[in-house]
A and B are shown apart, each in its own frame.
Chain A
């Protein structure tokens, strides 16, 4: 089982259509509004970044494919707002609110935008999980790129890199574990590494022998090779 967003290494998508260097940041006004509404709703604190990524990944393959980029954002946001009880499906259907929200005090107001955006949301955390690997160590990824905590849940090991052997390039520190955090199961921070793979290991015949692909992978995805 897989999800539609996990498309690395897929054939058939055709040429990359490169935007002109002077193309506007937002091709349509509603793209800008979609981004801003999404960030403003994130500031309500009802979900984390991993949950919102998973909301987009959970779109049906049909919707994921036919929706443009910001349509996916809108659909994921609408689903999350209802799932978390911020809005009701009836309100979405009517296009109007039934009444004010108890969360209104958390509303991101204009004067707080600069600080909210510049503060960001770092994900490095103290962790009592010791780093098992060091640069140069050979490691193998999970045989199946799947969330082992929640069936069909969020994971950041792409299918194209499952069951592959590579070499630890660097330790980034301990970061929040998305497989847990996306599902309200806690941040569960653990060591995360940049792991370098030979392109031939991932894809069989590489474009050029010796080319490499590097992924950032949590320790839970890795075992000694």
Chain B
């Protein structure tokens, strides 16, 4: 984790006259910085600490990749839902109760033997929250953001994924408010599985296009 140097702490204690970054007057330790903001905002009546707990509970316990997995498993097993999802993903998943912040405009893209889809946000960390939750650290990392567009196949190899040369790779850079869900390929050997059993093997990484769905040995 980042630790401030003595130099930057000293600079912090006495901001330069031309330093127009107000954040530099906050405490150097990040945990204390957050606490300071929370304290000031609570004293001003601008935030309700119980609301913060409710937001955290939502993304820690309620909204996560299990939602996306339920969507994918249903798309694999219900041709009508699959068609609806590909035509208008926002409407199709809203029907399942999955709509909200960072998922207002959804598009589903499907992996086949011919095309593999992979999603990145090179400019920040845009991600379909209602379906996959808060993005993992790797998705927000400089390495992924910088490299996923230029050398996606090398990046995929770092996830243990090797694509055959006949498969075209399409990388979707989420530069707007459209959020992409990758529908991975359904693995062989899952014929007749229940939706719940299928959902259990669909990983978050597969729904970003950085993993494949496999049948556990």
Interface residues of A (CB under 8 A from B): 5-19, 21, 23, 25-30, 32-37, 39-41, 44, 49, 53, 56-57, 59-60, 63, 66-71, 74-79, 81-83, 86-87, 89, 91-93, 95-97, 99-101, 103-104, 106-110, 112-114, 117-124, 156-158, 160-161, 172, 175-176, 178, 192, 194, 196, 202-203, 207-208, 210-218
Beyond A33-B56, A108-B51, whether A16 also contacts B144 by CB under 8 A is yes
Given A74-B37, A161-B173, 4 new contacts (CB under 8 A)? A33-B56, A107-B45, A113-B58, A207-B154
Contact for B173 among A26, A176, A192, A214, CB less than 8 A: A214
Give me 18 A-to-B residue pairs in the complex whose CB atoms sit less than 8 angstroms apart, sorted by A's number. A8-B145, A13-B141, A16-B143, A41-B41, A68-B1, A69-B140, A74-B33, A75-B21, A79-B23, A83-B22, A107-B47, A120-B104, A158-B122, A158-B173, A202-B149, A207-B154, A212-B169, A217-B175
A214 touches B170 (CB 8 A): yes
User: A13–B145 Cα gap in the complex (Å)?
Assistant: 9
In the complex, chain B residues 189-205 whose Cβ is within 8 Å of any chain A Cβ: 203-205
Beyond A8-B173, A66-B2, A114-B54, whether A100 also contacts B37 by CB under 8 A is no
A100 touches B45 (CB 8 A): yes
Residues of chain A within 8 A (CB-CB) of B174 are 216
Residues of chain A within 8 A (CB-CB) of B217 are none
B123 touches A109 (CB 8 A): no
Residues of chain B within 8 A (CB-CB) of A120 are 99-104, 130
Contact for A78 among B1, B26, B101, CB less than 8 A: B26
Pick from A109, A112, A178, A214 the residue with the most CB of B within 10 Å. Answer: A214
Number of A-B contacts (CB under 8 A): 317
Contact for B143 among A14, A112, A122, CB less than 8 A: A14
Chain B 149-188 interface mask (CB, 8 Å, partner A; 1/0): 1111111001100000100111111111110000000000
A172 touches B178 (CB 8 A): yes
B21 to chain A, nearest CB (A): 6
Question: Which residue of A is nearest B58, CB measured?
Answer: A117
Residues of chain B within 8 A (CB-CB) of A203 are 149-150
Beyond A117-B101, A122-B104, A212-B168, whether A37 also contacts B137 by CB under 8 A is no
B146 touches A87 (CB 8 A): no
In the complex, chain B residues 46-69 whose Cβ is within 8 Å of any chain A Cβ: 46-48, 50-56, 58-60, 64
B123 touches A156 (CB 8 A): yes
A36 touches B169 (CB 8 A): no
Residues of chain B within 8 A (CB-CB) of A113 are 51, 54-55, 58
Q: How large is the interface on B (under 10, 10 to 19, 20 to 34, 35 or more residues)?
A: 35 or more
A71 touches B51 (CB 8 A): no
Residues of chain B within 8 A (CB-CB) of A35 are 55-56, 59, 134
A59 touches B21 (CB 8 A): yes
B46 touches A86 (CB 8 A): yes
Question: Which residue of B is nearest A42, CB measured?
Answer: B101
User: A30–B158 Cα gap in the complex (Å)?
Assistant: 29
Contact for A107 among B48, B99, B143, CB less than 8 A: B48
Contact for B22 among A69, A82, A192, CB less than 8 A: A82
A38 to chain B, nearest CB (A): 9
User: A8–B170 Cα gap in the complex (Å)?
Assistant: 15
Residues of chain A within 8 A (CB-CB) of B25 are 89, 92-93
User: A157–B173 Cα gap in the complex (Å)?
Assistant: 10
B47 touches A16 (CB 8 A): no
